[in-house]
A and B are shown apart, each in its own frame.
Chain A
């Protein structure tokens, strides 16, 4: 079945530094990938839609300069949390679809802790 790989699974960084999270589709090409954020005991909040070869589309309230998204190939999207602050600590999950009516498949998430 479709596999989405997300790295790293866990990262701890200091305030002010930047962190890059990778999302790869391993056995299919993903023209579109999605980035979600999940707070403890809460549902997933869509942050942005990553489109291969074009700019990402951000949801209302998500700072595009803080959460940089790059979708350079059909199998890789990256989310960079710039100048991280403790309030950015969260669980970030990516998902990918082969497009059309194909269902979404999710990575295993990245637990970010900013100290």
Chain B
């Protein structure tokens, strides 16, 4: 079946790097996403990676994909207090005519201490 797993909590000090990990089960995933959710708000798309890529970097964010192990990670460099939020990993499942159905992980709460 389809399943996405994340660790629930991560605490880092301001200025350190944060690494949030995610594992998924469906080898037919097309896109893998990272979303950020601040309290009481919707989801903000941070970045996504296509399944034929190994790495994608966008400013402070680096996404690594290990297809063999079905492991996805999000690294935030120079973590700031404003990065404190819940981070969701999600995969899109092949669905005839529609690639937008997402399966979400439980979310990782990132706490950044000053």
Contact = CB atoms under 8 A, between A and B. Distances in A.
Interface residues of B, number: 23
Nearest to B103: A46
A43 B3 CA distance: 12
A44 B104 CA distance: 7
Contacts of A67: none
A5 to B, nearest CB: 10
A32 B95 CA distance: 13
B102 A42 contact: no
Given A44-B104, A106-B35, A101 B30 contact: yes
A81 B98 CA distance: 25
A100 B98 CA distance: 7
Contact of A43 (B31, B40, B50, B104): B104
Interface in B34-55: 35, 40-45, 48, 50
A93 B43 contact: yes
B33 to A, nearest CB: 6
A80 B44 CA distance: 24
B88 A103 contact: no
A46 B101 contact: yes
A97 interface: yes
A97 B102 CA distance: 11
Given A103-B33, A104-B45, A97 B100 contact: yes
Given A34-B102, A101-B30, 8 more contacts: A32-B100, A43-B106, A44-B88, A44-B104, A103-B33, A105-B45, A106-B35, A108-B42
25 contacts: A34-B100, A34-B101, A43-B106, A43-B107, A44-B43, A46-B101, A49-B98, A49-B101, A93-B43, A95-B43, A95-B102, A101-B30, A101-B50, A101-B99, A103-B31, A104-B33, A104-B92, A104-B100, A106-B35, A106-B42, A106-B43, A106-B44, A108-B41, A108-B42, A111-B40
